[in-house]
A and B are shown apart, each in its own frame.
Chain A
């Protein structure tokens, strides 16, 4: 039978505020020692009270706006109760009843619109590391601010799921609310998949695959679930509503054996945090701070950057921002595209981008013919070399000795030397006899003699004159 998959996704985005959601400790624990970013509030000593980070409210407004969402003027926090060693308070502070972000939508590259049901602010949990007979608890991540984005079940294929998660990632990165570091769990996805026979009005029973941390794994997990559930349904059996884990190595989802009792989180309005009632002016002011979004860049660079190139470069928000600053977008974007494609450099490569001035200078030198395209690229690459990165384009070009010889007098001397060389005798005769392509060999000899600094078109021009 043919089944129509229906997919809804919940996405947790770690916000890149300086401090945590409820305490004034460092929110960026990457590379830091366990439990070194933990306050008495995070440790949940008795009598400790949350201290709400106002920046997280502002981040949430931006994130909401990036997804075309309504911002709810009134919101508040609630407590969600459960016992686990990674949850020191015994509850998570979240927004169950009155979330800050209301309905909106995310547009996929193919034009599909995925509706957002709502999104809310909440605190993250700590981290457990398991060993043979014990587990260790690190609370560094406790109450890192998250926004949880809940989509409507508007996706119907693994590709939709992939495109949606990737689009979300881009939006959150462009909104500058997260570091977007998927490897470090900055964004995590829970994917609900159900199948219904084609033509059916009712949705099937769903399985939820939890804690996916890449677009690829989202796509693969959905593919796997569609196959798995199809097989079950084909046999006339029923899909069990359950939480499943994803094994990236085997490419399979597995049922999590814990008894699937309906969990009762006993949500309760958080009495330690006063309600949030934002004025329209406040929301408007923060909304205005939303940086350019991918669609804005597409508009801005249309005609200057080829669509397929732009699609690749859009994965690098800081790069887009840089391109918006440079004069010759076309040339500079090509350098980046070739580096990113050919050199297979990762995103970290772009952590420290050249300045607009460096890039503009390099463009100008190339434009004037002072650099060959090869020379320009060599200089460009040095912008990412920590030893040279801070130097001006001209300085680097000189150090690399790639500035083209544009002094015609000088060039003429080199041409004369080449023509005087007996090794070129035959070629000169062949050319005079009408063998046009030999000119390439002669230009090559001039380039060689100039150690690559000659401007090839000028060299050819002089050669032709001399051999005429």
Chain B
């Protein structure tokens, strides 16, 4: 990351980023740019540097903010009509921490509305295009953030990962995407999707930048009761020896390019002296069903506050109070939002709670136990991020279940709350980026990132 100093100014870094953002306007990466505020902040930082004042570790570094992070600058819409307009009177914890170190937000990135989706096609503002192929999806839900980093518009962007929303777009666009251990970074001020699996993380070009962002943003937050006391910076170094691979993930449903790159990396690791261990994790195949029960339940609950009363969209046609609720919600949410809300209500409703919601949370226990057992045998697990590289725009958007299957390898990790980093490791013959993810035990985040860069070494 280039930090503003005597050799470069914050203003030039920010201007450069804004120019690039505009150059790639057709990719539809940003839902709004923060030009005026960003330049003003850059000038302030340059003035500080000129005066010899102390500046932060991210002084003048431009970054892109996923559109579900509350910030006093501009509107936070979660790329939905429901929050159009919503001007937040407060900053999310992550925004506060980044800006305290001098980072400058140049714009808000496009996403699937309320983070519901795996392609950024569910955005109210239209889809973001893949960094290398305009006919393909950016992945999602943090598609805009991934492409912004892939195209070098900004050195880093924020993301949120509920079931793969950072790792899958990172892998589709060839950048690093990190989902930390649940509770590592505060969720305060990020539009909630599913409270028990939502994780805040970042997109970067390399593991070192990711580590710096983690150093800055990890830690207990009094505004989020589910944040861990800061362990990240105090993690003792632990070199990895044994790497697990999951047999069940190596099947015909997985794209051949991905299977090949995984095989290459396994060979590479063997040559580097790592021991490769085949893991049997039979419950993981149920993780997607568990995920699409637990997450919609929490989605239903968390989106109940969007009722057209206190903020956000209110239907013009609403004639009475009941219609303010029902019309605003029906018009303000997109189809995928509605599907998830209704599924959530289905699994929570009386008569179905035990068979679906409770059953899924029990299955979740088994998934966690499977990871615990795996990490008794290996240090990390290496798997694909998704069964395929970036797919065509429109290919899956009308078939919810096939879109959900996109998440089959990423969601078990969120259900277990363990960390995982997507690492760019290669390209398909046609040039589409390929990523793999490395999964670690809880709180192994720092060492996991270190190992991830080893993996990239042979790209």
Contact = CB atoms under 8 A, between A and B. Distances in A.
A binds B: yes
Interface of A: 40, 43-52, 79, 81, 83, 85, 88-91, 135, 137, 262, 264, 266-268, 271-274
B325 interface: yes
B187 A47 contact: yes
Contact of B195 (A83, A88, A267, A272): A272
Q: Indicate the member of A46, A49, A91 with the most B CB atoms within 10 Å.
A: A46
B310 A79 contact: no
Contacts of A48: 188-189
Given A137-B309, A274-B226, A45 B88 contact: yes
Given A49-B187, A85-B309, A262-B350, 7 more contacts: A47-B92, A49-B223, A49-B226, A51-B223, A79-B301, A81-B304, A272-B226
B355 interface: no
B350 A46 contact: no
Contacts of A268: 297-298, 301, 348, 357
A83 B307 contact: yes
A40 B89 contact: yes
Contacts of A43: 310
B401 interface: no
Q: Indicate the member of B92, B189, B303 with the most A CB atoms within 10 Å.
A: B189
Contacts of A50: 225
A266 B305 contact: no
A40 B300 CA distance: 21
Nearest to B183: A274
Contacts of A89: 304-305
Given A81-B304, A83-B325, A88-B305, A45 B226 contact: no
B305 A90 contact: yes
B191 interface: yes
B349 interface: yes
22 contacts: A45-B70, A45-B89, A45-B311, A46-B76, A46-B78, A46-B86, A46-B191, A47-B68, A47-B92, A48-B188, A79-B301, A81-B301, A83-B304, A90-B301, A90-B306, A90-B307, A91-B304, A262-B350, A264-B349, A267-B348, A272-B195, A274-B225
A270 to B, nearest CB: 8
B190 A47 contact: yes
A52 B226 CA distance: 11
Given A266-B349, A268-B297, A268-B357, A49 B304 contact: no
Contact of B192 (A47, A52, A83): A47
B280 interface: no
Contacts of A271: 194-196, 226, 298
A43 B307 CA distance: 12
A456 to B, nearest CB: 69
Instruction: Give the interface SS of chain B, mostly helix, strand, loop or mixed.
Output: loop
A134 to B, nearest CB: 10
Contacts of B300: 81, 266
B253 interface: no
B192 A46 contact: yes
A50 B226 CA distance: 10
B83 interface: yes
Contacts of A90: 301, 303-307
B345 interface: yes
A46 B300 CA distance: 14
B305 A46 contact: yes
B188 to A, nearest CB: 6
Contacts of B357: 268
Contacts of A262: 350
Contact of A49 (B69, B224, B311): B224
Contacts of B309: 85, 88, 137
A274 B220 CA distance: 14
A46 B70 contact: yes
A266 B76 contact: no
Contacts of B78: 46
Given A40-B89, A47-B70, A273 B225 contact: yes
B90 interface: yes
Nearest to B197: A271
A48 B89 CA distance: 12
A40 B304 contact: no
B188 A49 contact: yes
Contacts of A47: 68-70, 92, 187-192
Contacts of A135: 321
Q: Indicate the member of A135, A266, A268 with the most B CB atoms within 10 Å.
A: A266
Contacts of A91: 301, 304
A268 B296 CA distance: 12
The 10 closest A-B pairs by CB, nearest first: A90-B304, A271-B195, A266-B348, A271-B196, A46-B191, A44-B305, A47-B189, A47-B190, A90-B305, A272-B195
B316 interface: no
Nearest to B344: A266
Interface in B139-155: none
A174 B305 CA distance: 38
B237 interface: no
A47 to B, nearest CB: 4
A268 B354 CA distance: 11
Interface string B247-271: 0000000000000000000000000
Nearest to B76: A46
A214 to B, nearest CB: 30
Contacts of A40: 89-90
Interface in B74-91: 76, 78, 83, 86, 88-90
Q: Indicate the member of B86, B196, B226, B307 with the most A CB atoms within 10 Å.
A: B307
Contacts of A45: 70, 88-90, 311
A288 B225 CA distance: 28
Interface in B294-326: 297-298, 300-301, 303-307, 309-311, 321, 325
A80 B89 CA distance: 28
Q: Indicate the member of B68, B78, B348 with the most A CB atoms within 10 Å.
A: B348
A334 B225 CA distance: 52
B189 A44 contact: no
B234 interface: no
A170 B70 CA distance: 46
Contacts of A83: 304, 307, 325
Interface in B213-233: 222-226
Contacts of B68: 46-47
A307 to B, nearest CB: 50
A385 to B, nearest CB: 47
Contacts of B190: 47
A91 B187 CA distance: 19
Interface string B40-78: 000000000000000000000000000011100000101
B307 A52 contact: no
Given A44-B305, A271-B195, A49 B225 contact: yes
A274 B196 CA distance: 10
Contacts of B305: 44, 46, 88-90
A232 B286 CA distance: 55
A46 to B, nearest CB: 4
Nearest to B294: A271
Nearest to A262: B350
Contacts of B349: 264, 266
A133 B415 CA distance: 48
A132 to B, nearest CB: 14
A194 to B, nearest CB: 23
A85 B225 contact: no
B139 to A, nearest CB: 23
A85 B304 contact: no
B83 A46 contact: yes
Given A46-B192, A47-B188, A85 B321 contact: yes
B350 A264 contact: yes
A266 B353 CA distance: 8
A88 B222 contact: no
A43 B88 CA distance: 12
Contacts of A52: 225
A136 to B, nearest CB: 12
